[in-house]
Structure 1
Amino acid sequence: MLKKILNKETFLYLIFGIIVTLLNISLFYLFINIWKMSTGLGNILDTIICVLFQYFTNRIWVFESKNNGKEAIKEFIQFILARGLTAIIDQIFVVVGVDFFVAKYVSYSQQGIFSVGIKILSNVVVIVLNYIFSKLFVFNSKKQ
């Protein structure tokens, strides 16, 4: 059982997941705390950048997709739809967490760090869902 879970695919997903999570959190911090974007806009922008990064790393190295032509387009659309679903979950989690809870209950001087904490919690949920969606619906080797 453990050997089935700890394989090359899972290891690479974890490595690229850590990289994209760091990118996601860094961009989020940059957009809302440095560039002073709204929480919603900053979160959407960092999500778009990270989803594109994820698609290429997942396609090439994690799931080693060999789809071409129409199948590759279908795969990309399925990936975007799956990530769109988790992006909605992330957007709700982050906007509600930052704009309502952090803004209301955390002192102004601590809001930046608490906002990043909310983003990290959201990432944990999103990473698990993204793996499940990618494995079962997008890069399903039975389709190839």
Structure 2
Amino acid sequence: MEILEKRVRMMRILRLLTNKEIILYLVFGVLTTLVNFGVYFFLKSFLEMDMLLANSFAWIFSVLFAYLTNRRWVFDSNVSGITAVSFELIKFVFYRGLSFVIDMLSMLLLIEFLNWKDFYAKLITQVIVVVANFLFSKWLIFKN
């Protein structure tokens, strides 16, 4: 019986990992990260923009890219009309801002108070942020 339970558990995990929505979310998450890096380094290196300003623009462009791709290809939002789409975008930006706060507080806790090395803190924090962003998007933003 124990072997059967382990097999069932493994099948559930495998089904979760091969879920189309999750795979697309991860693919577009990687692309969003590339947009963020690309915009940042273009503005910083080629236009010699201040680091904070370049990073702010990079965040804005990557959040807009993430919204458009998540809306269309990941969560297949059927919201229409300028008011409804605007409200959906506002929710998306709000929850991405909230995940940024979660990111910063987690880093502060892990590095400053628990004395973790920043690489491991960032790694754990990013897992938390990715999961939080997915849940925010699935349950609070694109809930069709």
- Give the SS at the match of 2:78: coil
Within-5 A mapping of 1:91-102? none
1:135 aligns with 2:138: yes
Partner residue of 2:3? Answer: none
CA distance in 2 between counterparts of 1:36 and 1:129 reads: 34
**1:44-88 C-alpha deviation (Å, 9 max, x unpaired):** 101111111111111111000111234433222211211222345
Q: Is the 8 A contact 1:9 1:62 kept in 2?
A: yes
Contact kept? 1:12, 1:61, Cα under 8 Å: yes
- Give 1:3-22 correspondences, 5 Å limit: 3-22=15-34
SS at match of 1:73: helix
Cα 1:129–1:31 change in 2 (3 A) is farther
Ranges in structure 2 where 5+ consecutive residues have no aligned partner? 1-11, 109-118
Structure ranking higher on relative contact order (CA contacts 8 Å, 6+ apart): 1
Match of 2:126 among 124, 127, 133: 124
Q: Deviations over 1:5-62 (max 9, x none)?
A: 4211011111111111111112222223443322211111011111111111111110
Q: 5 Å matches for 1:1-144? A: 1-2=12-13, 3-69=15-81, 70-87=83-100, 124=126, 126-140=129-143, 144=144
The alignment's TM-score, normalised by the length of structure 1, stands at 0.65
% of aligned pairs identical?
38
Paired amino acid for 2:138 = K
Q: Contact 1:21–1:123 at 8 Å: present in 2 too? A: no
Structure index of larger Rg: 2
Taking a change above 3 Å as real, the CA distance of residues 18 and 25 of structure 1, as seen in their structure-2 partners, is same
Size of the aligned set, in residue pairs, is: 116
